[in-house]
Structure 1
Amino acid sequence: MTDQAGEAGLTEPLAQRLTTRETAERLGVKPETVYAYVSRGQLSSNRAPGGRGSTFDAAEVDALARRTGRREPTAPAGALSFPTGITLIGSDRFFFRGVDATELARRHTYEEVAEWLWTGELRPGVQFTAPAEALTAARTAVGALPPHCGSTDRLRVAVVAAAAADPLRFDLSREAVLGGARSLIPTLVAALPTVAKDGGATNGAADSGAAPPRLARQLWPKLTGRAGDEASLAVLDTALGLLIDHDLAASTLAARVAASARAHPYAVVSAGLGVLEGPLHGAASGLAHRMLTEVLERGGAAPVVADHLRTGRRVPGLGHRLYSGEDPRARALFELLAEIPQAAPALAAARDVVSTTARHTPLHANVDLALAVFSVSSGMAAEAGETVFAISRTAGWVAHALEEYGERPLRMRPSGQYTGPQPPQPLPAAVPQ
């Protein structure tokens, strides 16, 4: 998936424009102060498309921030805010180290996107390798779990086993952390059981002769017993690249808290996995998968959406608080899925859900709905999207850990607002047994 156009995009990124609000946050000032900078000639501005508001050049804003020393953005009352150079989410677009994330994920393999996120360098053809000792420990531990365990259960156990097999895991130097990450991710993939195919075990995706992306190819037989054609593997690899990071999502915040306490990278990943399993985060695509399956079985979205509304449940796969329109990750995956004939029924079902729900409330598709289209059309289980999310986001958690290791330790120590009984209280009476 690497090409020269993609490489040029990394060395000469498209000039990024910021809104007034984003500029104020980056400078750590109020919006009124931004316009004061413009009036003094310290910032230049352009009218936004449609004539509503102004936009500002990100490089010029960063240069002003360096001159003024205003490096810490102000946070809304009651909100947590930390400086990060990894991901910027703008108006219906997002960027990895200043580069359009959707273009990066479509043009480069997951491993290459991960390296860009970790180091700011593009390494075409980079591959990750699972060390034998860690892989044996992870497979043994995962193999001892009950059959009913889900993929996230297996991944959590695999991380612990891989950590136990690495006596140098407490080395938090940059090179040691990067080396551990490059071995941990393929270890997690290899530790997952292979999905049965035609009553037997599958050895992986069919070889199309075009050498599909390495990690995506390894992960494919862990998700489905069907053979993986080149187009389907490209969707999986792009999904892995798109999901690597999305600013300070709940699991990423947990990972950064762990890193702030100087937990080793395996423990950081464990912290992220613990939060990811919630139905409002990594597991959300499974709910969308089940919904799309029901839409296909019932021949339309109307009765399914009606059932959700009648019971007070939100329709899964719709809406995102950071985007006013369609999630750019969903848009990128939908474009690739539209080129795969077997994805047409699930894709039509997803569009039916969006248009049907729009009669009640104007919500757009998010990445969970796109993952559901992919998993349903590829014969995967409902939890497949969660597996893709977890494997992908591991690289993002490591990127944030690397950043957090360079900050003051234990800086994420909020104070509780005590609401219990006022002291002094008498000692409690023993409860009779």
Structure 2
Amino acid sequence: MTDQSNEPANLRHDWASPAFKANLSRRRRKETGLRLLGLSAIGLAFLMLGILMWTLISGGTQAFRQTHVTLDVPISAQMVDVADPARGNYRGVIAEAMQLTFPDAPEDRMRALSGILSNAAQFVLRDRVVDDPELIGQTVQIRVPVSDTYDQLNKGNVNEGSDESTRRLNDADIAAFRQLEAEGRITLPINWALIGNADSRFPELAGLKGAIIGSFYALLVCFLISFPLGIGAAIYLEEFAPRNRLSDVIEVNINNLAAVPSVVFGLLGLAVFLNYLGMPRSAPFVGGLVLALMTLPTIIIATRAALKAVPPSIREAALGVGASKQQVVFGHVLPLAMPGILTGTIIGLAQALGETAPLLLIGMNAFVTAAPSTPFDASTALPTQIFIWADSPERGFVARTSAAILVLLGFLVLMNAIAIFLRNKFERRW
């Protein structure tokens, strides 16, 4: 050990000097401040995410339940034809049932009391009679949804203590609904129509069936086009293409296309697929084509990254035993890179599922009351359905907009969970 006492004064170092301690203390304060700044940023991000999720959940959970009323409906042969039950006067049958439910109500009040029921009441009764014509001449009990205004009343969204002129329901309307509630006719079951019905102008009848099927068809077309083309392009560029100026230009443009706003792809689809080729407007097939163009760069980049991650020793070993270049790529490299390719593909499809702008430009925001049976039928998609409902003035569509966002987020979380599962299950560490 060196004895510092024998060293010259100009070479002696005092590591515990006040200047060193001050410098060390300053560095530690900066490090602590940086950590606190990072934790604050993470905390703020979680706070904003929590506020967003709380807003969606608190606003959307009401749409997952729908108020129903139970009625005793006498089906007379004068109102419904036994030979053809589908042509019966079911609106009149429902009106008679409401008169029996409120026997003391004056005639001029019956029209307002009939407004308690949704417009679907007559169709619910019609379908039941068509399925069982023997119900004609009997009194049946049916459960039908109430209109949106009374649904909001039952869910506590109507201030009964406010001035009557500021409410859509007057005191007599509220009293009639409370009478039904006191008789045990009002229930609040799970709203399966939110998933099982297509869109409607009436909030209590509107559902996501058409949008879900439309999104499925669009993603199916997107996958069938972008997956093989993206993988093929990536394999050629990474394994077979010569390294020259042309391949560099292609690679740069692919990276640039991945950053192009989605509305540009929508304009491309509008100009080429609709205006030039004359494809059907609002069709999931056209939407899938547009989403495929948008997803292709993502799949190509992800596939090339997965191919690069395969160690060169795999290629060299296969070539060393006499395998051709094609056999090396498709027999050894591609199977090992497939987990990364699938992960990138699913993430790209999840991104396509949430895109709205390109689908709006090709007309997938039309009012369609029936679910599509083929990819060429007019339809909406989940993002465009959310856009339509968010622009509707009725109070019931506000909750349904939040509920639709929750459904969309559920599909996105599911797709990302599948991607994480595939990555963890098939990932190999070299």
What TM-score does the superposition give when structure 1 sets the normalisation length?
A: 0.27
Structure with greater Cα Rg: 2
What TM-score does the superposition give when structure 2 sets the normalisation length?
A: 0.27
The structure carrying a bigger helix percent of its residues is 2
Greater relative contact order (CA < 8 Å, ≥ 6 in sequence): 2
